[in-house]
Structure 1
Amino acid sequence: MSKILLVGINSQYVHTNLAIRYIKNYVENYSSMKLEIYESSINNQLSAILTDIFEKSPEKIIFSTYIWNKEYVFKLVKEIKKIMPNTSVILGGPEVSYLTDKIMHENPEIDFIITGEGEKSTLDLLSESIEDVKGVYYRKEGQIKFNGYKPPISNLDEIPFPYSEEELKNSKNKILYYESSRGCPFECSYCMSSLDKSVRYFSLERVKEDLKKFLQEGITLIKFVDRTFNIDKRRYMDLWKFLLENYREEVTFHFEISGDLFDEETIAFLEKIPQGFFQFEIGVQTINEKTMKAIKRENDLERLKNNVLRIKENIHLHLDLIAGLPYEDYDTFKNSFDYVYSLKPEMIQLGFLKVLKGTLIFGQVEKYNYKFLNFPTYEVLSNEFISYKELTDLKKIETVLDYYYNSENYPKTIEYILKHHYKRPFDFYEDIARYYDSRGYFKVSHKQVSIFNHLYEFYLYKGFSDIEIFKEYLKYDYLTLKKPGSYPYWIKSIKDKEKYNEILKSMNFKSIREGHNKTEFEKFEYNVVSDKSGEVEILFIYNRKETKIQEY
């Protein structure tokens, strides 16, 4: 029996490839064949991966190909054919499912390409005569052949659970992906999922059995890859109630949802979810009405705002924006940014349009005069509404947004700056991005303390008033972050050491030394906790999950 290797090249070590696990378990469940999985990441050296694959001596290699690994996989395939010329190279995944004939012509090293849903087509390719297989491009007598598309699997329950017991036991600190449905009813013009307009579901019974396995092993983060999880209220409420009944503190479930679909009953239920148990990713993308209509994604912005504000206290929220959409220029994007910022999610994901083959946007390149990268990630460079310079400026704003907002390291300081010195949030991030750019800071990496220092120096550069009050807020955020090994040069330390020791004696530490290692005590000349004049002394207590404070 020939050796078959499934290869997943992930974007990061903590990620797992769901597709190759589905294929392995499906093929092994419905045949006597055995498949081996090999996973690595794009951060590893290509030569090392090439050696690993060579030493496994496979006769067939199946690569899972995505936007983040396409170039890497194509390079790897060329080298594999040099040292293993008789090994069959098979590619599958969204990055090779469109313009497939062209890909085969340009890459003679590829022997087969599986298009669309891979489980059944892979089984057929490995077990049947190629002339009888649908869903696969192949070579025969110097010609590229295709026998037509294979219809998608109607009963998803026939696909086995993707993870083994052993893998679950060894994956507590990895991100595991899971799907309870395939397809999406929406037609967003930039999204590959819009191509599969029907929605197919795994049965509720099957999904609950699968979720029990994650819960029993205490997997830290399970990401549902359902494109819009909250389509069918009866279904999603049933699953969420099941998860709540089986709550485990260390587990988090991540869902991609449409934020304006929830009704009052759902919101009332979500307000009761334990903090950190659910994590939502909400694709706002834009608030520009003309843009929403053009991309076929029209949000009820008032309802979305109400829903987000209601659940944000206990649901960890990621809100997405996309720059480069039709009719969204630099100035209208500011409005979209400020709208999302006003909702105060834990993370604002400022993304950039990717012009993906097969999507409606790909067919509108000439209409909107799109310029985009000809290689992955196919990111937009300009269109008739926004220039390359403006998109580059937004890229720089994305970087400082990650530093000063998404890191969650500066809540008090940034709130103070925005309240006292800016009319709108976008203006601050644009300002500090320009400051970074003028000093060449985008060209070097920064330690955490450097990012604090740059914010302090930016404040001085702008000549803003009340520098001493600002420094107290910055000091508070710095000390909240972690036990400092040393203080930055701008921190004025005012510490009553005798009082500090007396406080530690009254606490449950084994010794004063342990207390000092796990706490910090500082006097503030402005009450940054209550945001008012007056002194306050604060004990910072450092735990693994969070820093607690006590005022004195």
Structure 2
Amino acid sequence: MKNILVGINSKYVHTNLAIRYLKKYIEENSNEKIKIYESSINNNIQKIIRDVVEYEPDNIFFSVYIWNVEMVFKITKELKKILPNKRIILGGPEVSYNPDEILEKNIEIDGILIGEGENVLLNFLTKDIKDVKGVYYREDNKIKFNGFEPLIENLDIIPFPYDDEELEDVHKIVYYESSRGCPFNCSYCMSSIDKSVRYFSLERTKKDLKKFIDIGTRLVKFVDRTFNLNKDRYMEIWKFLLENYRENITFHFEINANIFDDEVLEFLKKVPRKLFQFEIGVQTTNPSTMKAINRNNNLDKLFHNVTFINKNIHLHLDLIAGLPFEDYETFGKSFDYVYKTKCEMIQLGFLKMLKGTQMKDEGEKYSYKYLDFPPYEILSNEFISYKDICRLKDIEEVLDFYYNSQKFLKSVDFVVENFFESPFKFFESIGDFYKERGYLEVAHKEVAIFNNFVEYYEKMNFPKKEEFLEYLKFDYLFMGKPGFYPAWIEENKDKELHKNIIEKMSFRSTREAHKLTELEKFSININTKEREDINIFFDYSGEETKYHIIKIEE
């Protein structure tokens, strides 16, 4: 029989780890062959349908998630018209919590696999359906279920999911897991449903990671729900990665920064910049909210740990708007807390009422209103209005422009420190400006976002404009060699000094030197924030811009 696993990702750069595990496991444990077909939600539905049909499969398996579920249901309806006698089977988190309802409403679906998929799919392909657990299926016009398939205790029996050529693709994000399950009980999260935690052995994990390192994979994202649960284990993995360090590879981990001790912090100081990237779920700083969602952040310790490691560890800190007891004002306080850590990225998310979670069950308790279709995002609850949610959406967008881009570090700090009582109030203000001007409705080139900032400053009638423009000019030049100068920059160059500097550097030619450097006069020392006439030399020849301040002697 011909089998095909279909993964429709949210972006081209993503890879579907689940279908790769399934393929490898099936082919190692049976005579069945199974093809992987991968696409994205941005691709044409008819193209996907044609590609699947041309393979002439007997069984079509879809990996279903919140981002692709609507597309999958459209595709399956059309596929059944073309292939009426072929089986269409769904699996994945978006169809695992109401399989009876899905089968009743969608007659083109022949079955739904639930739970951990490796053994369920293997048995489905190699046994009589009556002997297979973990499958909802139709028989005699009735929906049948034979019970749940036990979890795999020894995860090492699952083969490594990737082929070598996949790992060589520098344009793709590679996902990897060293454990399954999560011991925490966050009420909004589907991972809290499986409380047990199972690990791949350290020997197996090191062997897998060495493949990524040797082949030259650029970004490996661990999907372990909380990577740093077992200190002895995660420290051994991190030491292994440090011992086998290679430039241009990054490992991304979701961690709980509350539980780092001094030994861990000291170790992390040794980690080369860009080798590790941490995603830390703060979610809220409101005590009542933390209690309601079953989280317990020690905020002082968390702040200390995050600020201690953020010099060489790329940090993403997450917030969730719309949680119980979190109103607009308290969310602003959570935002300010995260902003002051100076992490590289603030991920401002909005609560999703996911099937199977405690939060979904408690929706009526807090008067939740939310989208009835994916992504099931909150519209309002008794603590926050729809209007405030929309305002936070605007803040999310300008936050990407003026913070997460890391292109406005000096100029935004200047504005916040001089004219706002808190960072949140600044992003609220500039979000309102973008909304009023209609700038949220259009795409912007990089220079336009700088120009909009100048327009915003002038509209607010803030004083110290000359100082602001100096900081903004630094941010603009630090971003990269400018193709041109916007109107608000007054060029002020010492060409003779620039020539003397580049003559002492090891560029192949004067042309290359000018292409990869810039020299500009400033009236403010960017580092000390003191009024002082200086030159700043920008060097763009490396992976990151470097700058050097040259004081002008009177």
Query: Under TM normalisation by the shorter chain, which class is it?
Result: over 0.9
What amino acid does structure 1 have at the position aligned with 2:332?
A: K
Paired with 2:189 and 2:54, the residues of 1 have a C-alpha distance of: 38
Q: Equivalent residue for 2:309?
A: 311
Provide, for residues 331-351 of structure 1, a one-character-per-residue CA deviation record: whole Å limited to 9, x for no partner. 110111011111110000000
What amino acid does structure 2 have at the position aligned with 1:495?
A: K
SS at structure 2 position matched to 1:321: strand
Q: Equivalent residue for 1:208?
A: 206
Out of 21-30 and 412-421, give the one that drifted further: 412-421
Paired with 1:448 and 1:167, the residues of 2 have a C-alpha distance of: 32
Paired with 1:511 and 1:245, the residues of 2 have a C-alpha distance of: 38
The answer to whether 1:478 aligns with 2:484 is: no
Provide, for residues 88-130 of structure 1, a one-character-per-residue CA deviation record: whole Å limited to 9, x for no partner. 1111000000011001111111111100111100001111110
The answer to whether 1:400 aligns with 2:398 is: yes
Q: Give how far 1:491 is off.
A: 0.6
Q: Equivalent residue for 2:263?
A: 265
Paired with 2:548 and 2:443, the residues of 1 have a C-alpha distance of: 35
Which among 212, 215, 218 is matched to residue 217 of structure 1?
215
Q: Equivalent residue for 2:113?
A: 114
Q: Equivalent residue for 1:512?
A: 510
What amino acid does structure 2 have at the position aligned with 1:125?
A: F
Out of 502-511 and 316-325, give the one that drifted further: 502-511
Q: Equivalent residue for 1:353?
A: 351
Provide, for residues 464-501 of structure 1, a one-character-per-residue CA deviation record: whole Å limited to 9, x for no partner. 11101111110110011111111111111112233323
Q: Equivalent residue for 2:525?
A: 527
Provide, for residues 373-431 of structure 1, a one-character-per-residue CA deviation record: whole Å limited to 9, x for no partner. 11110101111110111011001000001100000001111111111111110000000
What amino acid does structure 2 have at the position aligned with 1:45?
A: N
The answer to whether 1:78 aligns with 2:77 is: yes
SS at structure 1 position matched to 2:258: coil
Paired with 2:493 and 2:331, the residues of 1 have a C-alpha distance of: 46
Out of 491-500 and 428-437, give the one that drifted further: 491-500
8 A Cα contact 2:164 2:215, kept in partner: no
Provide, for residues 489-516 of structure 1, a one-character-per-residue CA deviation record: whole Å limited to 9, x for no partner. 1111112233323333332222222222
What amino acid does structure 2 have at the position aligned with 1:247?
A: Y
Provide, for residues 258-299 of structure 1, a one-character-per-residue CA deviation record: whole Å limited to 9, x for no partner. 110111111111121111111110000001111100100111
The answer to whether 1:166 aligns with 2:165 is: yes
Provide, for residues 165-185 of structure 1, a one-character-per-residue CA deviation record: whole Å limited to 9, x for no partner. 2322x3233111111111111
Paired with 1:491 and 1:483, the residues of 2 have a C-alpha distance of: 14
The answer to whether 1:427 aligns with 2:409 is: no
8 A Cα contact 1:177 1:222, kept in partner: yes
SS at structure 2 position matched to 1:139: strand
Paired with 2:70 and 2:508, the residues of 1 have a C-alpha distance of: 55
8 A Cα contact 1:224 1:256, kept in partner: yes
Out of 505-514 and 378-387, give the one that drifted further: 505-514
Which among 466, 469, 481 is matched to residue 468 of structure 1?
466
Out of 431-440 and 46-55, give the one that drifted further: 46-55
Paired with 1:537 and 1:167, the residues of 2 have a C-alpha distance of: 47
Q: Give how far 1:77 is off.
A: 0.8
Provide, for residues 324-368 of structure 1, a one-character-per-residue CA deviation record: whole Å limited to 9, x for no partner. 000100011011101111111000000000000000001101101
Q: Give how far 1:79 is off.
A: 1.2
What amino acid does structure 1 have at the position aligned with 2:164?
A: E
What amino acid does structure 2 have at the position aligned with 1:145?
A: K
SS at structure 2 position matched to 1:335: helix
What amino acid does structure 1 have at the position aligned with 2:232?
A: R
Q: Equivalent residue for 1:453?
A: 451
8 A Cα contact 2:3 2:59, kept in partner: yes
The answer to whether 1:181 aligns with 2:179 is: yes
SS at structure 2 position matched to 1:260: helix
Q: Give how far 1:544 is off.
A: 5.1
Paired with 1:368 and 1:240, the residues of 2 have a C-alpha distance of: 42
Which among 476, 487, 490 is matched to residue 489 of structure 1?
487
Q: Give how far 1:543 is off.
A: 2.8
* Residue correspondences, number: 550
Paired with 2:230 and 2:247, the residues of 1 have a C-alpha distance of: 27
Q: What residue ranges of structure 2 are gaps of 5+ in the alignment?
A: none
Q: Equivalent residue for 2:250?
A: 252
Show the 5 A alignment for 1:22-41: 22-41=21-40
Provide, for residues 125-162 of structure 1, a one-character-per-residue CA deviation record: whole Å limited to 9, x for no partner. 11111011100011112111111111111111111111
Provide, for residues 60-104 of structure 1, a one-character-per-residue CA deviation record: whole Å limited to 9, x for no partner. 111111111111111111111111212211110000000110011
Cα root mean square deviation, aligned: 1.1
SS at structure 1 position matched to 2:453: helix
Q: Equivalent residue for 2:153?
A: 154
Q: Equivalent residue for 1:135?
A: 134
Paired with 1:348 and 1:152, the residues of 2 have a C-alpha distance of: 35
8 A Cα contact 1:542 1:548, kept in partner: yes
Which among 226, 229, 232 is matched to residue 231 of structure 1?
229
The answer to whether 1:371 aligns with 2:369 is: yes
What amino acid does structure 2 have at the position aligned with 1:232?
A: N
8 A Cα contact 1:173 1:219, kept in partner: no
Paired with 2:24 and 2:510, the residues of 1 have a C-alpha distance of: 56
Paired with 2:541 and 2:175, the residues of 1 have a C-alpha distance of: 29
Q: Give how far 1:450 is off.
A: 0.6
The percent identity for this pair of structures is 59
8 A Cα contact 1:172 1:217, kept in partner: no
SS at structure 2 position matched to 1:398: helix
What amino acid does structure 2 have at the position aligned with 1:388?
A: Y
Paired with 1:7 and 1:481, the residues of 2 have a C-alpha distance of: 40
Q: Give how far 1:212 is off.
A: 0.8
Q: Equivalent residue for 2:189?
A: 191
Q: Give how far 1:239 is off.
A: 1.0
SS at structure 2 position matched to 1:320: strand
The answer to whether 1:296 aligns with 2:294 is: yes
What amino acid does structure 2 have at the position aligned with 1:84?
A: L
8 A Cα contact 1:320 1:348, kept in partner: yes
Q: Equivalent residue for 2:97?
A: 98
Moved over 4 A (4+): none
8 A Cα contact 2:517 2:541, kept in partner: no
What amino acid does structure 1 have at the position aligned with 2:447?
A: V
